[in-house]
Structure 1
Amino acid sequence: MKTQVCIIGAGPAGLMLGHLLRAEGIECVVLERQSGDYVLGRIRAGVLETVTVDLMARLGLDARLKAEGLVHGGFNLADGERLIRIDLAELTGKHVTVYGQTEVTRDLMEASAERGLDVIYEAGDVALHDVDSDAPYVTYTRDGATQRIDCRFIAGCDGFHGPSRQAVPASAGQAFEKVYPFGWLGILADVPPCNHELIYANHERGFALASMRSETRSRYYVDVPLTDKVEEWSDDRLWDELTIRLGPDAGSRITRGPALEKSIAPLRSFVFAPMRYGSLLLCGDAAHIVPPTGAKGLNLAASDVLYAADALTGFFRRNDPDAISGYSDKALARVWKSERFSWSLTMLMHRFPQDGPFERAMQVAELDYIASSRAARTAIAENYVGLPV
């Protein structure tokens, strides 16, 4: 098989890029090692910046998002009994939209066939070859046979553990990483949320987050040591812990229910630079990971995809090689700012095992400053709704 762009990974980043390229008449194929049902079964974030909402609108795939998405004009930071509201609408004139990543993926997936986007699921043993040349190719196995795709560019949208980043020689890039000493234990349940906006809570027992996927489906998190196992946390134990950490007001409004899904996700900050090597462009989690505190993961992938689509369109439609060469610097400029915000909010809202009285006093002082300073709240709001693309 021959195409202009081979996209590795059929998560939201890969599918978004595929749809953008097809809209420009650029040939592309998407390879995914899992089945479509498996991809849709992955539980991920659900807070969308304007950049992501606008991208779905540009593709004409925002009908369900507009009908079912929850528009949020603010969110809250809690410390003990204090609730600090960050008024996004008043401070920035913008908002975020709560709409699950699974639903974004479903919208993109269901439109693929009718729009001529070729997606190959259950592609095993994906390997990238000659990525430093002008004629890279990808091999994979399906139904017991080895297949080959020749292309001009490869877009690695295959996540942190995928083969794309591994195809870059160690001498050609640098990884920046911080691993946090805890994970987020999450529960998804068909119960109404305890608050109409998200609450990030810093409690003496640890971090908690109250969020939602809809008006009838809630998503809650607490931070736990990396040594904890999901099996050690019964539903009742987790609901009890959330009630304490979210404080008496929000805690008293929690509706309990059986878990639809429960898992522990480790937290890390990670950036791989550059995000382009030869004919390979890295997008989304293949190039960077942010702790979920800042709600940036999917949104950073969306901005990467916009930059990548513009670069590839420039190359194929305007014969502009500089469009490709500028991709990495442009994407990384936004990536590092989002990494900074996610890291700073994580440091502010979590209790770290090595922290003592001084570190805690600094958290209290920072929260006091945020509560009393419009400038501080504005800086947080500008980052939360998303910096310009």
Structure 2
Amino acid sequence: MTTQVCIIGAGPAGLLLGHLLKAEGVDCVVLERRAPDYILSRIRAGVLETITVELMERLGLDARMKSEGLWHDGFNLADGDRLIRIDMADLVGSRVMVYGQTEITKDLMDACDERGLEVVYEAEDVALHDVEGDAPYVTYSKDGAEHRVDCRFVAGCDGFHGPSRKAIPASVGKEFERVYPFGWLGILADVPPCNHELIYANHERGFGLASMRSETRSRYYVDVPLTDAVEDWGDERLWDELAIRLGPEAAANITRGPALEKSIAPLRSYVFAPMRHGRLLLCGDSAHIVPPTGAKGLNLAASDVHYASAALAAFFKANDHDAIAGYSDKALARVWKSERFSWSLTKLMHRFPEDGPFERAMQVAELDYIASSRAAQTSIAENYVGLPV
């Protein structure tokens, strides 16, 4: 098989890139290790920045998102009995869309046949070759046969554990990482949310988050030690803990129900640089991970794809090598700002095991400042809705 761009990974980043390239007349094929049903079974975040919404609008794949998604003008920071509302619409004239990552993936997946985007599912043993030269290629196996894709560029959208980043020599890349001493225990339930906007809570017992996927499906989280297991947390224990951490106003409106899904996600901040090596471009989790506190994971992948699709289109349409050369610096500039915001919000809203009275006093002082300062709230709102691309 011969194509212009071989995309590794058919999550939202890979499919979004594929559709954007096809819209620009750039030929591409997507390789995915898993089956479609497995991809759609993964429960992920659902707060969409402006850039993600705009890319779906540009592709004309926004109908279901606009019909079923929820526009949010603000969100809340809770500290005990206090609820600090960050009014994004008033502060920065923008808002976010609550629409599950799984739904975005489904919309992109459903449009593949109609728009001629070829996706090879259950492609095993994917390997990248000669990415430093002008004629890279990718090999994979499927149904017991070996296959080869010859291409001009490879786009690694295959997540943290995929093969793309590993194709960059250790002497070339540099890793930056912060592993957090807790994970998020999440519960998904078919119950109405306790608030029409998200609540991020800092409580003496730990962090809590009230979010939603729709008006009838809620997603809640508490932070737990990495030594905890899902089996340690029965549904009633988790609901009780949420009612305490989210505060009395939210607790009064919590509707309890059986868990559709319950899991613990470890938290880390991670950046790999550069995001381009030769003819290989990294996008999304293959190059960076953010703690979910700032709702940046999917949105950072979308901004990467925005930059990558523009660079690749410029190369194939105008032989613009500078656009490719500048991809990594342009993407990383936004990545680091989003990493900073996610890290700072994580530090503000969680109790770290090593923290003492001074660190807690600093959290209280920061929350007091945010509650009383429009400038502080504007900074948070600007970052939450997404910095310009």
TM-score normalised by structure 2 residue count: 1.00
Residue 252 of structure 1 and its aligned partner are, at CA, apart by: 1.6
SS of the aligned residue for 1:222 comes to: strand
SS of the aligned residue for 1:113 comes to: helix
Match of 2:184 in 1: 184
Question: Aligned equivalents of 1:371 and 1:23: distance in 2?
Answer: 45
Paired AA for residue 252 in structure 2: S
User: For the aligned residues, what is the CA RMSD?
Assistant: 0.4
Match of 2:350 in 1: 350
Question: Aligned equivalents of 2:308 and 2:363: distance in 1?
Answer: 38
Paired AA for residue 100 in structure 1: G
Q: Which runs of 4+ in 1 moved over 4 A?
A: none
Give yes or no for the alignment of 1:14 onto 2:14: yes
**Structure 1 gap segments, 5+ residues each:** none
Give yes or no for the alignment of 1:332 onto 2:332: yes
Paired AA for residue 217 in structure 2: R
Q: Pairwise mapping of residues 264-283 of structure 1 onto structure 2 (< 5 A)?
A: 264-283=264-283
Q: Pairwise mapping of residues 217-256 of structure 1 onto structure 2 (< 5 A)?
A: 217-256=217-256
Match of 2:170 in 1: 170
Residue 118 of structure 1 and its aligned partner are, at CA, apart by: 0.2
SS of the aligned residue for 1:220 comes to: strand
Paired AA for residue 219 in structure 2: R
Paired AA for residue 347 in structure 1: K
Match of 2:107 in 1: 107
Residue 288 of structure 1 and its aligned partner are, at CA, apart by: 0.3
Match of 1:288 in 2: 288
Paired AA for residue 334 in structure 1: R
Match of 2:73 in 1: 73
Write the deviation string for residues 307-362 of structure 1: whole angstroms up to 9, x where unpaired.
Answer: 00000001000111111000000000000000000000000000000000000000
Q: Percent identity between the aligned chains?
A: 81
Paired AA for residue 381 in structure 1: A
Q: Pairwise mapping of residues 1-389 of structure 1 onto structure 2 (< 5 A)?
A: 1-389=1-389
SS of the aligned residue for 1:264 comes to: strand
SS of the aligned residue for 1:342 comes to: helix
Paired AA for residue 270 in structure 2: F
Question: Aligned equivalents of 2:146 and 2:231: distance in 1?
Answer: 40
Question: Aligned equivalents of 1:236 and 1:163: distance in 2?
Answer: 41
Write the deviation string for residues 128-167 of structure 1: whole angstroms up to 9, x where unpaired.
Answer: 1111111111111100111110101000000011100000
Paired AA for residue 154 in structure 1: V
SS of the aligned residue for 1:259 comes to: coil
Total equivalences in the alignment:
389
**Structure 2 gap segments, 5+ residues each:** none
Question: Aligned equivalents of 2:156 and 2:183: distance in 1?
Answer: 26
SS of the aligned residue for 1:163 comes to: coil
Residue 74 of structure 1 and its aligned partner are, at CA, apart by: 0.2
Question: Aligned equivalents of 1:360 and 1:142: distance in 2?
Answer: 54
Paired AA for residue 345 in structure 2: L
Question: Aligned equivalents of 1:149 and 1:173: distance in 2?
Answer: 25
Paired AA for residue 239 in structure 1: W
Residue 195 of structure 1 and its aligned partner are, at CA, apart by: 0.3
Question: Aligned equivalents of 2:361 and 2:101: distance in 1?
Answer: 36
Question: Aligned equivalents of 2:312 and 2:114: distance in 1?
Answer: 23
Question: Aligned equivalents of 2:141 and 2:232: distance in 1?
Answer: 39
Residue 18 of structure 1 and its aligned partner are, at CA, apart by: 0.1
Write the deviation string for residues 37-60 of structure 1: whole angstroms up to 9, x where unpaired.
Answer: 000000000000111000000000
Residue 80 of structure 1 and its aligned partner are, at CA, apart by: 0.4
Question: Aligned equivalents of 1:92 and 1:349: distance in 2?
Answer: 23
TM-score normalised by structure 1 residue count: 1.00
SS of the aligned residue for 2:182 comes to: strand
